[in-house]
Amino acid sequence: MLLAELPLYLILGMLCGVISVAMTRLVAWFTKLFKIIQDKFGIPTVVCPALGGFGAGIIALKYPGILYWGFTNVEEILRTGKSASAPGIWLLTQLVVAKVIATALCKGSGLVGGLYAPSLMIGAAAGAVFGGFSAEVINSAIPGNAAVAQPPAYALVRQLYCKYVWFGKESEKKEKRGKEKESKVI
């Protein structure tokens, strides 16, 4: 990593923050939406996860890369900077958006599952997009073969940041809930 790349990592960090906030707000929005649907239409609670899964399936028809394939899709992105299901920067960007929406939809509907694997996928894809875009812009402005690191380097940093932000927030919420329960018991 070149010292000149540090500002790029700063920008990548801000992008990570924006994506994290967007995903958190989407989860809250979908949770409220499913609660409204339950109340308005009298749908049982057990039906909501099926609706969330149906919505994710609809999204997966267009973007099959959002589905969990083990860690194959993450490994592809880290190895090549691209995914087999999304070969270009623009399509990889669409995959990031689709994965964020599908994950928030599933989590908000009450489907059982975590954020660990989705955060790895979203992090790797968003970092690869940022790295690819940065490389194109900077390498066209500064002649030379490798003015910036390859996209997988940004994908790895983004992936680690997403895990820290999302799981840090989750542990803070659990801690807060634990303290609230303790205060109710006392």
Q: What angle do CA 173, 53, 121 make, to 5 degrees?
A: 60
Q: How many domains does the chain have?
A: 1
Alpha helices in 42-150 (DSSP H): 47-62, 72-80, 89-109, 116-141
Is residue 152 within 8 A of residue 128, CB to CB? The reply is yes
Query: Could you tell me the residue range of the domain that residue 87 belongs to?
Result: 8-172
66: tokens are 């959002």
Work out the average pLDDT over 138-148. Answer: 62
Identify whether 186 is part of a domain.
no
Is residue 92 within 8 A of residue 158, CB to CB? The reply is no
- Which CATH number covers residue 164? 1.10.3080.10
Identify whether 183 is part of a domain.
no
21: tokens are 């906030």
Identify whether 181 is part of a domain.
no
Query: CA–CA separation, 80 vs 124, rounded Å?
Result: 11
- The whole-number pLDDT of residue 84 equals 39
Structure confidence by residue, pLDDT tens digits, 110-139: 987 778 888 888 888 888 888 778 777 776
Whether 8 has a pLDDT exceeding 70, the answer reads yes
86: β partners: 83
Query: CA–CA separation, 57 vs 87, rounded Å?
Result: 21
- The whole-number pLDDT of residue 58 equals 96
Identify whether 2 is part of a domain.
no
Query: CA–CA separation, 65 vs 12, rounded Å?
Result: 23
Structure confidence by residue, pLDDT tens digits, 31-72: 999 999 999 999 898 999 999 999 999 999 999 888 877 677
- The whole-number pLDDT of residue 61 equals 95
